[in-house]
Amino acid sequence: MIEMPEATTLARQMNETLTGRTITRFARGPLNHKFLWLSRPDEEYQAMLPGRTVTGADSFGRSIYLRMGDLMHWWGDTGGRILFHAAGEPLPKKYHLLWEFSDGSSLTFAMEMWGYVKLLDRSQFDLRPHAESGTQPLSPEFTLEALNRMMDAYPEKTAKGVKGLLVATGHLLKDHINGLGNAYVQDILFRAGSDPRRKVMNINPEERHNLFDAIQSTMALATELGGRDDECDLFGRPGQYLRLMDKRTAGLPCPNCRTPIQKIAYLGGACYLCPKCQS
């Protein structure tokens, strides 16, 4: 799934590459997926998009926004590949959505798991991204004090561990960190020395500071490197961030203490941790 470093990279590249290009056609691709949600019937996308010129792109947390004057595409809570194809380049064999531009170039979206590509008009712009809930981890608003407030207010702090706080969305917690998902949380908790099952109420001030530093350092490095190596940018190039804790490192020695990295199931997904370094 796309998290903040990938969304930031894709939005920057969209802004640089697509701005000024005019859409001539929108269409479904050869693949269909019941968990790909559009906000309007296909016919409205097909009628509203041709003739629209891209005016820019940006991101917020895990969301990407492609602006076309008084219209805006919103990719959110999604996994998959958004790819740009120069004029004359062959399209991939498998994709779900297609945008063609007047210069012969195109954009495809091949979704994985689930997600949405909403089409908003100007009357809906105030809903996203400006009022999108949560705080981005590299924004000036995300401070140690802000993290402390989130931890103190976490409504399920007696039941769920710190992983639950880090991956919380606006549906679960209005004051949350927007941009984190299960993939980066593994490395954040490793760098912070915290077990994902650790109860939020039991994390002391020094450990909170370590967690804050781990969030910022992990997100800054991943963003600088263009995201994870198992996700691609707008041109199909993999990111350069290699995760320390994931399925490929399970059973291998911990980079700090050489204890074998352990896989556990927690909060509906797999977690990877060092049982010695994380407590």
Residue 277 pLDDT greater than 90, yes or no: yes
For the chain, give every domain's residue range.
Answer: 4-127, 144-273
Residue 260 pLDDT greater than 90, yes or no: yes
With bands split at pLDDT 50, 70 and 90, how would you rate the model's confidence at 134? Answer: confident
Q: What backbone torsions phi and psi does residue 194 show, to the nearest 5 degrees? A: -115, 135
With bands split at pLDDT 50, 70 and 90, how would you rate the model's confidence at 198? Answer: very high
With bands split at pLDDT 50, 70 and 90, how would you rate the model's confidence at 172? Answer: low
pTM, full prediction: 0.92
CATH code for the structural domain at 144-273:
1.10.8.50
Q: Residue 33's pLDDT is what?
A: 81
| Three-state DSSP state, 234 | coil
pLDDT tens digits, one per residue of 75-98: 988 888 999 999 999 999 999 999
CATH code for the structural domain at 4-127:
3.20.190.10
Nearest CA-CA partner of 155 in 175, 135, 179, 185: 175
**Order of strands across the sheet that contains 79-85:** 23-28, 97-101, 106-112, 79-85
